[in-house]
Amino acid sequence: MSFDEGFLAELFQAISEAGLQVIIVGNAAAVLQGVPVLTQDVDLMVRKHAQLEIKLDRFAKRFGVILTHPYDPVSQVVRAVGRPVGVDFVFSLSSGKSFESIRSRATSVKIGRRSVLVASLEDVIAAKEAAERPKDKATLPILKDALRVRNKMKAKSRIKQR
């Protein structure tokens, strides 16, 4: 991954100060769970609400970026540009699962002194399968293998605890 914990800590400080509710999705979510994949940006699923535009603008000022809509007029993405690592705020995933649904299965990961929500590997896989993009298809075998290994390790751990 082309960013470090310092960048993520700064990113989530700005997100917190702006009052945004987000979940890390995509390959960044996989990387934070130990999957050996690469990514060039951080994808964040953001909860939609009436004050979202105001909060995104507040985030942009605090983080020192400009917000763009790369796929207008039907954009489901707001892209923050102006930093070495891009940040995409997405309003929906290809899998069609809601923010609340993704959050219910998310795991908490410590970044700096802050805990952040990270989409489950199952949800990352479901979104990539639904997207059917070549770059997503290329990472699916790695993601599925990592999930399989993790599930086997959990099962072994449960057996040892008995």
Pairing mode, strands 41-46 and 86-90: parallel
The tokens for 97 are 């699962």
Task: Please give the Cα distance from 36 to 143 (Å, whole number).
Answer: 8
The pLDDT score that the predictor gives to residue 1 is: 37
Average confidence (pLDDT) per 10 residues, the chain, 162 residues: 77 97 97 92 95 97 95 82 95 94 96 94 96 93 96 84 72
Task: Please give the Cα distance from 43 to 41 (Å, whole number).
Answer: 6
Please name which of 72, 1, 58 lies closest in space to residue 34, comparing C-alpha atoms. Answer: 1
Report whether CATH 3.30.460.40 matches the domain 5-161: yes
The pLDDT score that the predictor gives to residue 2 is: 39
The pLDDT score that the predictor gives to residue 117 is: 98
The pLDDT score that the predictor gives to residue 3 is: 57
Measure the CA angle with vertex 106, ends 21 and 36; round to 5°.
Answer: 110
Q: Within 13 Å and on the Cβ side, how many CA atoms surround 109? A: 22
For residue 85, what is the DSSP state? S
Alpha helix (H) residue ranges in 79-133 = 99-105, 121-131
Cα-Cα-Cα-Cα dihedral sign, residues 31, 97, 151, 114: positive
The pLDDT score that the predictor gives to residue 65 is: 98
Is the pTM higher than 0.85? The answer reads yes
Q: Where are the domains of the chain?
A: 5-161
